[in-house]
Amino acid sequence: MNRPPAPAQPGSAGADPVAGLLRIVAGTRPGADAGLIGRAYQVAAHWHHGRHRASGDPYVSHPLAVATIAAEVGADDPTLCAALLHDTLEGTCYTLVALREEFGAEIAHLVAGAMAAGATPGEETASSAPGPGGGAAAPGDARILVIQLADRLHNMRTLRHLPPATQVQTSRQALEVLVPLARRLRLDAIRSELEGLASDALKRYGPGADVVSGRLLAAASALLPPAVRARWCQEWLGELSVLPTRRARVSFAAQTLLGMARLAVVLHRPAKPTP
Amino acid sequence: MTLQTQLVLRALLAEPDVQRYGLQLCAETGLPAGTIYPIVARLEQLGWVHSSWEDPHEHVAAGRPRRRYYRLTEEGAQQARDSLARAYRPRNKPRLGPAATWPDVPGMSR
């Protein structure tokens, strides 16, 4: 399979954010139900209204991108709707019962499946994906896996907005779990993009020492007053991640660790008139 | 005031309106990170320094984690100038002291 066309830019200043998705769907499956897909988008936009991604984009740009990725690999209407709706039940008043009434049992089943798989698809997929040389997974399961893969792929595309330690962890998981899964489902475009993004992130942040440095700093920050701990950790992890060599990063972490006790004393005592 | 604190204040005073992040202060002062952070934390407690997170649009556009920026407050800039002046006077005195008592020699500028 060729590389998919450039993904639509959800959240950009288009008149209709869902138009890009519908164009792809119309190109791959002429009989698709554009009305149903449009309605699923409207419902997702309604429930995600006011929420934002770490990138600053409106949250609904994420399910839209997930559905777009699924559309590029030829997913059917229920899968696209479930992709659009896959996060609507979390942190909202929307319920699975209401979703089933609105979109039917099949879409509700896919949404529930994509949710239940949760943060680590590896464990579930290890048992539910077809074994080597075995038959195809049950149709429902495979569609849920497509949603999950598309979900993770979009997260990988927007990974740079997250802290370096998270980027390394997510990228490792992508290489260990998602890439083999995509290969097994023969989703080559998704597999190669996941592989590329994960390798880039791991190259950027080094294979281990930096995570260790970051963890050491985070652990040592326990000395600081709780109210300001997160602020200092975030500042250091940010600085750590832009240093060009591993040597510089390890040295930065070591020096900061040396100053931790002094900083703790400064932050724990009340201000005095002279420095 | 320690020499390290003076170095940090001088770096911040060089262009008082420019915001600087931790690594930048390390580079400009030649001091290690572990020395810089306690100093800016102390200066911030005193109200000499103000710190703030970088605008999300800037670090997202640059594709890197957001920076914590430091700059002198108006009061901090004044205090820094005063205390740097005080800090340098005693050390400079022995060298300038005798010179100040030299008689003016016509045709010779000091």
CATH number, domain with residue B15: 1.10.10.10
What 3 state SS string does chain B have? CCHHHHHHHHHHHHCCCCCEEHHHHHHHHCCCHHHHHHHHHHHHHCCCEEEEECCHHHHHHHCCCCCEEEEECHHHHHHHHHHHHHHHHHHHHHHHHHHHHCCCCCCCCC
Check B45 against A274: CB less than 8 A apart.
no
Report whether pLDDT(A188) > 60.
yes
- What residues of B are in contact with residue A262 (Cβ under 8 Å)? 34, 38
In a domain, B56, yes or no: yes
Query: What does the domain layout of chain A look like in residue ranges?
Result: 19-165, 209-268
Query: How confident is the model at residue B58, as a pLDDT?
Result: 83
Quick one: average pLDDT of A204-226? 73
Select from A140, A20, A127, A150 the least CA-distant residue to A73: A150
Confidence of residue A10 (pLDDT cuts 50, 70, 90): very low
The closest of A146, A166, A173 to A66, measured between CA atoms, is A146
Radius of gyration of chain B (CA): 19
* Strand ranges inside chain A, DSSP E: none
Determine if residue B54 is left, alpha or beta; phi over 0 gives left, psi from -120 to 50 gives alpha, anything else beta: beta
Inter-chain CB proximity B34 and A257 less than 8 Å: yes
Across A46-60, A97-111, A214-228, B90-104, least confident range: B90-104
Residue A270: φ, ψ to 5°:
-70, 155
Chain B partners of A55 at a C-beta cutoff of 8 Å? 60
Taking only residues 9 to 38 of chain A, the set having a beta carbon closer than 8 angstroms to any beta carbon of chain B reads none
Residue by residue, DSSP assigns A102-169 as: HH-HHHHHHHHHHHHT-S-HHHHHHHHSPPTT--PPPHHHHHHHHHHHHHHHHHHHTGGGS-HHHHHH
At residue A206 the predicted structure's pLDDT band, cuts being 50, 70 and 90, is low
Q: Is the pLDDT of residue A90 over 70?
A: yes
Query: Which class does domain A19-165 fall in?
Result: mainly alpha
Order the strands of the B49-53 sheet from edge to edge: B20-21, B68-72, B49-53
Place of tokens 């002291």: B97
Other CB atoms closer than 10 Å to residue A156's CB: what's the count? 23
pLDDT in tens, A94-136: 999 999 999 999 999 999 988 876 544 443 333 343 333 333 3
Mean pLDDT of B31-58: 92
- Using CA of residue A63, residue A68, residue A71, residue A77, what is the dihedral sign? positive
Specify the number of domains making up chain B: 1
Q: How far is A184 from chain B (nearest CA, A)?
A: 33
Q: Give the Cα separation of A37 and A81 in Å (integer).
A: 6
Judged by CB atoms closer than 8 Å, whether chains meet at B65 and A241 is answered as: yes
Structural domain includes residue B103 = no
Q: Quick check: B46 and A275 CB within 8 A?
A: yes
Q: Which residues of B touch A241 (CB under 8 A)?
A: 64-65
Assess if residue B79 is contained within a domain.
Answer: yes
Q: Which of B2, B21, B42 to mutate to test the interface with A (most CBs of A within 10 A)?
A: B42
- Residue B46 included in any domain: yes
Q: What digits encode the pLDDT tens for the residues A144-186? A: 889 999 999 999 999 988 887 788 888 888 888 888 888 888 8
B24 in Cβ contact with B47 (< 8 Å): no
Chain B hits for A235, CB-CB cut-off 8 Å, are 22, 67-68
Count A/B contacts: CB-CB distance under 8 Å: 84
Q: Which domain holds residue B38?
A: 3-87
Residue B16 lies in a domain: yes
Residue B80 lies inside a defined structural domain of this protein: yes
Burial profile A48-86: b = 16 or more Cβ within 10 angstroms, e = fewer:
beeeebebebbbbbbbbbbbbbbbbbebbbbbbbbbbbb
Which positions ≥6 away from A184 have C-beta within 8 Å?
A129, A130
Query: Cβ of A197 under 8 Å from any chain B Cβ?
Result: no
